[in-house]
Structure 1
Amino acid sequence: MAELRTLARPYAKAAFSAAQELNQLAEWDKVLTVAGQVTANADIRRLLANPGLEEQKKAELILEVAGEEATDQVRNFFSVLAGNQRLALLPEIAVLFNTYRADLERTVDIDVTSAFELTDEQQQKLAQALSEKLERKVSLAASLDKSLIGGAVIRTGDLVIDASVRGKLKKLVETLGS
């Protein structure tokens, strides 16, 4: 996976620069996200691996299946990917592009998994506190996992804050075991 990310990085940077220059970040993000989801599909991956199908045709098929109206610049980007046989990198390119956009716009997506349902007020307070701590605009997604026993686990990118009872018990077991 790290290798794919390394290969995808220059393409994602080029796409981001082009989108930023054209003031079309949202449009490019939408097309790349959908194309990334499409190319992550196992059937589409097999299609991309088919040597009997011309690379440019593969790019056209991805754009068609994605169902997105693509600008000439986006079509050109897909053509370059096809020419370099890098269409399979689209899922990673989409993730990196989204990361670059979030950094530019100072936003962050946070997943909160809690043992009990969070009220709207609790979600707002948590989002506000995290926004102040991370100095970014926070988009919060809450989910429920009763196996946590109590507390919550907060995830964003590489940052994980495990404030669950299950997590604390696990740490205690590790400490006692050593």
Structure 2
Amino acid sequence: MSEVRAAARYARAVMDFALEQKQEGQVEKDMRLIRETISENPELGAMLNSPVIQGSEKKAALDAIFKETSKISKQLFGLLAENKRIGLLDLVAERYLFLYEELKGQDVATVLTAVPLTADLEAKILKQLKAITGKEVTIENQVDPNLIGGFVLRVGDLEYNASLDSKLANLKRELIRK
């Protein structure tokens, strides 16, 4: 949990600095690129979290991979490397995107499902979320084939778990209590 808090602090600092420099949009593009690249390349994530590789080598690799990113993002690489927190880069990018969407008056809802959402179902979810939050919401669908059925919906700090796993766990607890 402390990693999430640390990532949130770094993301807030980057957001504040980006706003001061009027570069929040460019940094947002950088953070999306960073998230996408790390998620598509597990080797990169493993390298960033490796205790064997020096922070300076990790920073050099990030500078080479993300050579087109803004100065602010490159400064973040250096700061994380210096503080031995470079493994948090993906979490920092995620939190920054959350802050950016919040700044723009939008929320990002993460929907975890066993199969990809259909366009019709996504539209229904968006309609319900707008009614609940009163804000424009975008959906990020994450597919987890290990999920037996149902879905897990996260918007900001709220989570609604309607997965079959959750229902079975609740049923098991009820049976054990009786």
Q: TM-score, normalised by structure 1?
A: 0.70
Partner of 1:90: 89
Corresponding position: 1:113 with 2:117: no
Q: Is the 8 A contact 1:40 1:91 kept in 2?
A: no
Partner of 2:63: 63
% of aligned pairs identical? Answer: 21
Q: Is the 8 A contact 2:152 2:163 kept in 1?
A: no
Partner of 1:135: 134
Deviations 1:63-115 (A, max 9, x none): 2123x512333333333333333323212211221221122222222315278
In 2, distance between residues paired with 1:90 and 1:40?
11
Q: Give the counterpart letter for 1:60 in structure 2.
A: A
* Superposition deviation, residue 33 in structure 1: 4.3
**Which residue among 50, 53, 77 is the counterpart of 2:53?**
50
* Superposition deviation, residue 16 in structure 1: 0.7
Q: Is 160-169 or 78-87 further displaced after alignment?
A: 160-169
Q: SS where residue 113 of structure 2 aligns?
A: strand
**Which residue among 41, 45, 52 is the counterpart of 1:41?**
45
Q: SS where residue 31 of structure 2 aligns?
A: helix
Q: Give the counterpart letter for 2:89 in structure 1.
A: L
Q: SS where residue 69 of structure 1 aligns?
A: coil
* Superposition deviation, residue 125 in structure 1: 1.9
In 1, distance between residues paired with 2:93 and 2:13?
12
Corresponding position: 1:147 with 2:148: yes
- Which consecutive residues of structure 1, in runs of 5 or more, have no partner in the other structure? none
Count matched residues.
168
Q: Is the 8 A contact 2:111 2:152 kept in 1?
A: yes
Q: SS where residue 147 of structure 1 aligns?
A: coil
Aligned CA-pair RMSD: 3.4
Q: SS where residue 108 of structure 1 aligns?
A: strand
Q: Is the 8 A contact 2:148 2:164 kept in 1?
A: no
Query: Cα gap change, 1:129/1:17 in structure 2, threshold over 3 Å: closer, same or farther?
Result: same
Q: Is the 8 A contact 2:47 2:58 kept in 1?
A: no
Query: Cα gap change, 1:59/1:118 in structure 2, threshold over 3 Å: closer, same or farther?
Result: closer
Q: Give the counterpart letter for 1:155 in structure 2.
A: L
Q: Is the 8 A contact 1:32 1:90 kept in 2?
A: no
Q: Is the 8 A contact 1:12 1:97 kept in 2?
A: yes
Q: TM-score, normalised by structure 2?
A: 0.70
Q: Is the 8 A contact 1:12 1:94 kept in 2?
A: yes
Higher Rg:
1
